[in-house]
């Protein structure tokens, strides 16, 4: 079930960024904005802070908007939102789904390094949600954690 949620959220983000006539910058991707239908299909909601930008435009100057802890630290510092800002937030949400805990809030750019440290040690699966008691597809979990970590490393200036 968790992988379907991850795929649904990723599909929603892809649609907003690539498949609409303009790029939709959501600017507030966080767990409480991910809704599940009766079949546990993920829907990305609350587009109240969203902005449309042309696909060839790299960023959008804006007032600070979003939720601290999920907001790309570069976006927060420069007030320039981009598609990469939403990818960062997506990575943070995936980390929370896979690990079953919130990543450190208030430490800009430190949401995923602890996962990467485990990856380098060859034991990335040790950060998987303990409540799963090791009962998960190991390859699937590793892929989710690597994608999550990569997303949380994607800063707006990268």
Per residue in 30-81, pLDDT (tens digit) is: 999 999 999 889 999 999 899 999 988 877 777 888 888 888 888 888 888 8
**103 is written with which tokens?**
């990543």
pLDDT of residue 158: 44
Q: Where are the chain's structural domains?
A: 2-153
Name the more confident of 106 and 137: 137
Name the more confident of 150 and 1: 150
pTM over 0.95: no
pLDDT of residue 65: 86
Instruction: Please indicate whether residue 28 is annotated as part of the active site.
Output: yes
- Cα dist. 18→6, 81, 126 in Å? 18, 16, 34
Given 28, 46, 56, 86, the catalytic residue = 28
pLDDT of residue 12: 95
**What's the CATH number of domain 2-153, 2.40.390.10, 1.10.510.10, 2.30.42.10, 1.10.3720.10?**
1.10.510.10
pLDDT of residue 106: 54
Report the distance separating Cα 24 and Cα 50, nearest Å.
6
Report the distance separating Cα 131 and Cα 71, nearest Å.
27
Percent of the chain exceeding pLDDT 70 equals 89
């Amino acid at each position: 079930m968790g992988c379907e949620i991850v795929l649904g959220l990723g599909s929603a983000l892809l649609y907003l960024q690539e498949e609409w006539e303009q790029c939709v910058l959501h600017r507030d991707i966080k767990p409480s904005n991910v809704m599940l239908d009766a079949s546990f299909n993920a829907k990305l909601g609350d587009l109240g802070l969203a902005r449309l930008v042309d696909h060839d435009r790299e960023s959008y100057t804006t007032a600070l908007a979003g939720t601290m802890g999920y907001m790309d630290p570069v976006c927060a510092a420069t007030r320039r939102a981009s598609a990469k800002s939403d990818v960062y937030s997506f990575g943070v949400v995936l980390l929370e789904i896979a690990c079953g805990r919130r990543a450190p809030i208030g430490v800009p750019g430190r949401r995923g390094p602890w996962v990467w440290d485990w990856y380098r040690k060859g034991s990335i699966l040790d950060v998987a949600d303990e409540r799963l008691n090791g009962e998960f597809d190991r390859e699937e979990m590793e892929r989710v954690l690597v994608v999550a970590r990569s997303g949380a490393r994607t800063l707006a200036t990268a």
